[in-house]
Amino acid sequence: MTSRRAGADNLSAPIAIGGITVDPPLVLGPMAGTTNRVFRMLCRRGGAGLVCGEMVSVNAIVQGNERTHEMLATFPGEHPVSMQLFGSEPAIVRDAVPAIVEAGADIVDINMGCSVPKVRRNGAGVALMGEPKLAAELTAAAVEASRVPVTVKIRAGLTVDEDSYVEFARRMQDAGAAAVTVHWRAASQGFRGTPGWEPIARVASALDVPVIGSGDVQRPEDAPRMMRETGCDGVMIARGAWGRPWLFGQAAAALRGDEPAPEPGIEVRLGVALLHAQMLVLDAGERIALHEMRAQMHHYVKGLPRAGHFRREANQLHALKELYELTVGYAAEVRAEASSEGAP
């Protein structure tokens, strides 16, 4: 299958979501506890064409929850940026959207794919795929209240045995969605299963608006392969970007038909990790930064020698200085071991 876009042979060509240009057509997916504005900035600088914030509750927005409003803050250099909301009442969505736009969102995204129980129990997230009329009303309400494009993120249905997600996507388009992102798994699969991108292809062939493919893009070459196999217009990278904000630049090269840069060496890899930590300290304070970096450092050292020992040590830290000392010492030890193994 080839892309539906003009210039289908040029997979790296920008796409337009409403009036927003996404160049290259690579999107950082929203992830709780990860896609704050610091990580979004790193991924934007790493080559992402669009970055997405963590999912936020429309109820919390209209209630004036301070933490939720802080999550909507953006850096000037990270745009274009999409902010994802979840909710189940059109009236509340209509009230919340202007605040999201005012905070700096270039795109408002409605989550209709999250299968976390506490979200689903409240009729939001993927539960909306079982209520297509309500889902269309939510989308229409957001479009009515927004001066920026509204998009929708869905899964391939509630179970693997049904295919109503194609008609569901059409209804979101008809309600005004400027693009639809499709995660190839059904809600019943969670994050399990062998990648099967056919659901993305089915939605891409049915819609006129841009379709973004999502799910299991871990390597640079996965991006062009997904686009060629499904005909989607762009690719969302989420968990694949954990500890690897440079993956977007590698994937962009693959879309152009160029050889992607190799994975960075330990110095660059851990240097980016320390930059991530320092930016978080400046943005949120040392206590919050260290709490978040305990999890993020796990990703930055994944696959490196004695990564398990490093992670255990990192979990005990209480100050940025300690993280710096641990990281520098760890890098020196790994280099020394590699040097001794290569000695005659």
Q: Is residue 10 part of a domain?
A: no
Handedness of CA 120, 124, 125, 129 (dihedral sign): positive
Residue type for position 86: F
Do 322 and 287 share a domain, yes or no? yes
The residue out of 227, 256, 285 marking a domain boundary is 256
- Domain at 309, CATH number: 1.10.1200
Q: Is residue 43 part of a domain?
A: yes
- Average pLDDT estimate for 12-41: 97
- What value does the mean pLDDT take over residues 225-243? 96
Same domain? For 247 and 291 the reply is no
Considering the domain architecture, whether residues 25 and 162 belong to the same structural domain is answered as yes
Q: Is pLDDT at 231 greater than 90 in this prediction?
A: yes
pLDDT > 70? residue 175: yes
In a domain, 220, yes or no: yes
* HEC secondary structure over 28-67: ECCCCCCCCHHHHHHHHHHCCCEEECCCEEHHHHHCCCHH
105 found inside a domain: yes
Give the pLDDT score at 284: 94
**CATH assignment of the domain containing 136:** 3.20.20.70
Rounded to whole angstroms, the Cα distance separating 282 from 277 reads 9
d(CA 249, CA 262): 11
Confidence of residue 3 (pLDDT cuts 50, 70, 90): low
CA distance 298 to 312: 9
Position 344 confidence tier, pLDDT thresholds 50, 70, 90: very low
Q: Is residue 321 part of a domain?
A: yes
Mean of the pLDDT values across residues 63-87? 95
Query: For residue 284, what are the domain limits?
Result: 266-336
**Is 198 among the domain residues?**
yes
Same domain, 94 and 222: yes
List 43, 52, 114, 232, catalytic entry:
114
**How far apart are alpha carbons 215 and 212 in whole angstroms?**
10
Asked if 205 and 311 sit in the same domain, the reply is no
Whether 1 shows a pLDDT value over 60: the answer reads no
Give the C-alpha separation, 113 to 199, whole Å: 14
Tell whether 66 and 127 lie within a shared domain.
yes
Domain boundary among 256, 285, 314: 256
State residue 34's pLDDT score: 95
Q: Do both 314 and 244 map to the same domain? A: no
Q: How many CB atoms lie within 10 A of CB 5?
A: 20
pLDDT tens per residue across span 247-306: 999 999 999 999 999 999 999 999 999 999 999 999 999 999 999 999 999 999 999 999
- In a domain? residue 341: no
Cβ 289 vs Cβ 52: under 8 Å: no
Quick one: DSSP state of residue 278?
Answer: H
- Where does a domain end: 203, 236, 256? 256
Q: Is the sign of the CA dihedral 108, 121, 242, 217 positive or negative?
A: negative
- In whole angstroms, give the CA distance from residue 257 to residue 224: 9
Nearest residue to 34 (alpha-carbon basis) of 25, 22, 43: 43
pTM value? 0.94
Q: With b meaning 16 or more CB within 10 Å and e meaning fewer, what string describes 143-175?
A: bebbebbbbbbbbbbbeeeeeebbebbbbbbeb
Residues 97-140 pLDDT 10s: 999 999 999 999 999 998 888 899 999 999 999 999 999 999 99
Q: Please, are residues 111 and 55 in contact by the beta-carbon 8 Å criterion?
A: yes
Number of domains making up the chain = 2
Pair (252, 312) in one structural domain = no
Contact (CB, 8 A) for 27 and 235 = yes
Q: Is 108 in a helix, a strand, or coil?
A: strand
Same domain (yes/no): 234, 304: no
Model pLDDT, residue 8: 55
Confidence class for position 189, pLDDT limits 50, 70, 90: confident
Q: Are residues 280 and 310 in the same domain?
A: yes
Q: What is the pLDDT of residue 7?
A: 45
pLDDT at residue 190, rounded to an integer? 64
Residue 2: is its pLDDT beyond 90? no
Can you tell me the mean pLDDT for 75-81?
96
CA distance 148 to 301: 38
Any idea how long the chain is? 344
Residue 193 has pLDDT above 70, yes or no: no
What integer best gives the mean pLDDT of the chain? 93
Distance CA 284, CA 243 (A): 19
Same domain membership, residue 33 and residue 84: yes
Active site residue 232: no
In a domain, 9, yes or no: no
Name the CA dihedral angle for 118, 122, 127, 128, rounded to a multiple of 10 degrees: -140
Q: Is the pLDDT of residue 343 over 50?
A: no
What's the count of helices (H) and strands (E) in the chain, helices before strands?
A: 14, 11
How much of the chain, in percent, has pLDDT values that exceed 90?
85
- Do 161 and 305 share a domain, yes or no? no
